[in-house]
Amino acid sequence: MRSLQKAFSLIELMITLVIALLLTYGIAQLLISSNQSSSTSDGVSQAQETGRFVMSYLANQVRQAGLDSLNNDTITTQAVIGCDIPALNAIGACPLESNAGDTEATIDAPAPAISGDRFAVAWVPPAGETDDCTGNPLPGFTPDDIIVNVFWVSFDATANSNSLFCRGYRFDGINVLAFGDARPIANGVEAMHVLYGEATSALPANGERNANRYVNANQVLDWERVYAIKVAVMTRSLSDVTNIIASRRYTLLDSGLYNFTDAVNRQVFSTTFSVSNY
């Protein structure tokens, strides 16, 4: 008897295979796109979270600057410390200006290279507070000692990337008495630039402290007339976030161009802090 069963023809098999391949390709592209979007979102979140933390941390440090002794009104300090004090200048505990930009090839230069500017603020802690900006007590600290906190960005070997660093110094107004360890405060900070809000005239009779120009550390005429600090930081994702390499450019206040050609997400944050420079 003749069999009535028939198999698929070669053409039907080829059509089925093509349709299956197209469906597989579409699903794969959807999964890849979803994964890239998730990685990009994670990278943006990492950079933004780092930026928010750094700005909050610096705000706390800058706003307490210029606090004189609460017990002895003869003990005072400038809020912002300049390099006109030899003892601080000799050990790099004062502002450093650098308006150069950078690239992904050189931005992670080994220490002691600094990425961007360095700045320093001082205060006289109230009784019971002896810690510097790293949260550690300074050696030999006594009440009414001046603490100078210095901030900069440089390569962090532990994190294998740039980090915001801080170091505290005990200071008597002329000499450095002791200092703590330099410690990283936040990973993923690639550069920092600073401008100083300076009043070019003497304090008016009404006591208002208004900055009428913003200049870099080399252009400040009188550190006692600095009433604001404008800080910009550039943060990055902790790893490449996409497989797409793109060229991007950034500027931070008075800096040169930062040119990058990579797959890293970066964010620039800028804010101005009022300084109680009485």
pLDDT in tens, 75-126: 888 888 889 899 999 999 999 999 989 998 899 888 889 999 999 999 888 7
Express each pLDDT in 136-190 by its tens digit: 888 888 878 889 999 999 999 998 889 999 999 999 888 999 899 999 999 999 9
Cα dihedral across residues 20, 26, 29, 34: positive or negative: negative
Mean pLDDT of 200-209: 67
* Higher pLDDT among residues 69 and 221, named by residue: 221
Q: Which amino acid would we find at residue 143? A: P
- The Cα–Cα gap between 97 and 216 comes to 7
CB 182 within 8 A of CB 151: no
205 pLDDT higher than 80: no
Specify the pLDDT at position 97.
Answer: 94
The Cα–Cα gap between 16 and 216 comes to 69
Residue 233 scores a pLDDT above 60: yes
